[in-house]
Structure 1
């Protein structure tokens, strides 16, 4: 039983179908089906239950794949390390992230990435909707969340934090709120997501967290537009630290409560790198993941 055969059955498990595994390996689905059948015959056990609608692991299949997965991953990692010494990563890398994160986090890094990996072309798909990586043929995604959900493999890129900010013009006109509770009487800028719209959460040191109800005349579904509205003095806004770092440094925006920890619904949020399968990780994807981790780590996040 060769390594490609083991990778194939693990991909079928990870991606949930013979067709998806075939696309990832650039093979015909019939070839993948024959590989699975051959392994099942060799083992004398059925690994997958097949139906017209779905593919699911048998009890024996689940136990077997759990045992072999770490071995295959270790062999793949060793192979990639050797390949990296002698091969230049190449190909087209397709990735997605929110519009704001693409603009603020990814695009500024592209000159360095292209200088380092001239044979990799990058296709970016900015979207504030969570695109389906398998359906859209994407290699990886960056998602902002408390914790990733679903079957995708994930690794943390950076811990995110939120701040309540406003412009100098706004503070000169309306005055600086003395405490987070004062925001309830202010015309705040609201982000059109359920966790952000009606209440913001605060914590001072080790004290218990508390929520402050917020409302305002302006609700925006774009983080970039929300930041611009705050810059223009339309009111206080709750924004991610990576989005407003330069504004705070240059004085375009002011952190209203620097002693408090701020959040929408959860203090533990992060940017996560997600990709379809740990088993089949092309060199172009591996170097992008390592590059992003290094660059964001260098920035102190």
Structure 2
């Protein structure tokens, strides 16, 4: 029995399906199925109960793979460490983020990354849905939120701050805001997410009470770039992240309506986090991308 076969079996257990493991390892599902059957025959254990619709690990399989999983990870870590000292970073890296963050922050950095690491091919998957790293066979994901919780490892690459902004034409037409509560009487442009669409949060400082303000309006938009464009066109006030609007504020295309207030729709401490599966090693291609984004986005 070779290590490749054991790694294939472990991939099936981690992905939960033959097809998922095949996609992750760039193999045919039929080959993965044959490898699993061969390993089961050699060790004399049935690792998975398989039907036409689903796959479930057996009790014996769970015990076996729980023991060999860390050993295989350590072997791969040793191989990767030795490989890193001898070879330039290389491989195919699959990265996802929101559409807006991909366009505004990641795509502009790709030429420099390509120059620095010509042996790495980057597949960027912009999506406003939170794609599953394991199900989609992704190496890294950038999430915009408070500190993520769960089984994935996360590294902050950017801290964010939200602002309530509008176009100069909108301000001239409707007047300035004296307090956050004035927004309740305005036609607000709202992000079509549960936490953003009905109320926004405000505070003067970290030690001050949080004020919750109900917001409403005739426009709901599910994409941050489109929401920013609507604000630029004077359609209303919008709550947007600083990395998306800093240039517009500098150029005068947008105006900060509440410059002395902290604003958010969820939590005040938010950021952009790179997520990757919990493993005992990190491939070199992943590590250099994480370090590159941390350095360029900080």
**TM-score normalised by the chain length of structure 1:** 0.79
- The 5 Å alignment of 1:1-301 reads 2-40=2-40, 45-131=45-131, 139-146=139-146, 153-158=152-157, 159-204=159-204, 205-267=206-268, 269-274=270-275, 278=279, 283-296=284-297, 299=298
Displacement, 1:43? 5.5
SS of 1:197's partner is coil
CA distance in 2, matches of 1:234, 1:43: 67
Shift of 1:154: 4.9
Cα distance in 2 for partners of 1:59, 1:287 equals 38
Contact 2:189-2:217 within 8 A present in 1 as well:
yes
Q: CA deviation at 1:270?
A: 4.0
Equivalent residues of 1:160, 1:269 under 8 A apart: yes
Tell me the CA shift for residue 19 of structure 1. Answer: 2.9
Q: 3-state SS of the aligned residue for 1:229?
A: helix
Higher mean displacement: 126-135 or 45-54: 126-135
**Relative to structure 1, is the Cα distance of residues 166 and 27 closer, same or farther in structure 2, using a 3 angstrom cutoff?**
closer
Q: CA RMSD in A?
A: 3.4
Matches of 2:229 and 2:29, distance apart in 1: 49
Contact 2:170 2:235 in 1 (8 A): yes
User: Aligned pairs, how many?
Assistant: 296
> How far off is 1:187 after superposition?
1.9
Deviation at 1:117, TM superposition (A): 1.4
Q: Is the 8 A contact 1:14 1:276 kept in 2?
A: no
1:15/1:276 contact within 8 Å kept: no
* Structure 1 residues 194-239: Cα deviation after superposition (integer angstroms, max 9, x where no partner): 3222211223423443321111233333211221232333332101
In the aligned structure 2, how far is the partner of 1:273 from the partner of 1:144?
9
| Structure 2: segments with no counterpart, 5+ residues | none
Could you give the per-residue CA deviations for residues 90-135 of structure 1, whole angstroms, max 9, x where no partner exists?
Answer: 4544433322111111111012101111233334333334456677
Deviation at 1:85, TM superposition (A): 2.6
**Could you list the per-position Cα deviations for residues 52-72 of structure 1 after superposition, in whole angstroms to 9, with x for gaps in the alignment?**
221223344434444444443
Q: Distance in 2 between matches of 1:15 and 1:67?
A: 18
CA distance in 1, matches of 2:50, 2:145: 34
Task: Structure 1: state its 5+ residue gaps.
Answer: none
CA contact (8 A) 1:200 1:264 kept: yes
Q: TM-score, length-normalised on structure 2?
A: 0.80
Cα distance in 1, alignment partners of residues 105 and 290 from structure 2: 14
* SS of equivalent to 1:265: coil
Q: Secondary structure at the match of 2:196?
A: helix
